[in-house]
Amino acid sequence: MMNIDRFVLNQSTMSSSSASADCLGWAARDESGVLSPYNFSRRTLGVDDVSIRITHCGICYSDLVWSRNGHGDSKYPLVPGHEIVGIVKEVGSNVHRFKVGDHIGVGTYVNSCRDCEYCNDDEEVYCAKGMTLTFNSVDADGTITKGGYSSYIVVHERYCFSIPDDYPLASAAPLLCAGITVYAPMVRHKMNQPGKSLGVIGLGGLGHMAVKFGKAFGLNVTVFSTSLSKKEEALSLLGADRFVISSDQKQMKALAKSLDFIVDTASGDHPFDPYMSLLKIGGVLALVGFPSEVKFSPASLNIGMRTVSGSITAGTKVTQEMIDFCAARKIYPMIEVIPIEYANEAIERLLKRDVKYRFVIDIEKSLK
């Protein structure tokens, strides 16, 4: 367990030496990824910007990766967090979509060129010139973006999302990455039509949302896992129709050519051919995880007219549609709410897959 008193002392010391830095966050200082209090300045509110008092921020595996320089490009001090929700505290003079007091969210990106074919189609996440990530990216003013493990954030209104007043802010946070990452490929491939069959590989933060969306869409849902301990959760807690141990060849063979669509959320290395054989003729496997390699036989595609499709999050239009869908259908991620002081321990638990199914930091109550 961390020595919280030590962090409080450090926080006090930094505050006195950085009086002009009015944003308090928790940052990693080096490749150890250990987070501790950090004071810094946000950019000045522009005419098209929204200033958001952050109430909650989800913990994503990406936070761990960049905090520990997993991609070799981490810019320290690094403030992670891209599942951000809060309350509007100020708006620029040109902002018309939001007003002070509104519930609001920010996801994985905070800027794009706004002029390419993808931005013009509200697919800003695929911006031809590259999106600006919510943290560890170079912003328009040359500063490095810092994420939601912080007291407030300033974002252009285009990249902000309206959260319905009756939708709990803590529950909304994981929608901004985990939720939209599985929702987007499902609707893109028309898997929001009742009666179809869905396979979900992995039952973590992303996988459990895929199951929830699948049931809300009226699909027959099969969960694939390497762990038998997930069976009761999948069937009783999340309402999946079937649970399969992926290493059991007999169970897998029994499902040959039975699925219209598979969402693969697993980031660990795993074989693909066994899953491809489960797809119907013309079926699709959507890869949303990041294994180190993807290997399968060409016959898995060619014989059966199958497709492997990649996807990350989504543009602003689809993301807002997903939030509204969740509010209308009362779809809530399963979360464990924690104080900011527990963030380092939560990340260690995330490494061990010891969370059901998303950690959400209560920024408002614990970051003061």
Domain positions in the chain are 4-177+314-366, 179-310
The CATH number of 4-177+314-366 is which of 2.60.40.1120, 3.30.565.10, 3.40.50.970, 3.90.180.10? 3.90.180.10
For 12, list phi and psi in degrees, rounded to 5.
-65, -40
Residue 78: closest CA among 8, 149, 23: 149
In which band, very low, low, confident or very high, does the pLDDT at 73 lie, cut at 50, 70 and 90? Answer: very high
Query: How confident is the model at residue 9, as a pLDDT?
Result: 32
Query: How confident is the model at residue 364, as a pLDDT?
Result: 96
Residue 262: closest CA among 322, 324, 304: 304
Beta strand pairing call for 49-58 and 84-91: antiparallel
Q: Are 318 and 326 in contact (CB under 8 A)?
A: no
Residue with tokens 């890869």: 287
Q: Give residue-wise pLDDT tens across range 2-58.
A: 333 333 333 333 333 334 689 999 999 999 999 999 999 999 999 999 999 999 999
pTM for the predicted model, two decimal places: 0.92
**CATH code of the domain occupying 179-310:** 3.40.50.720
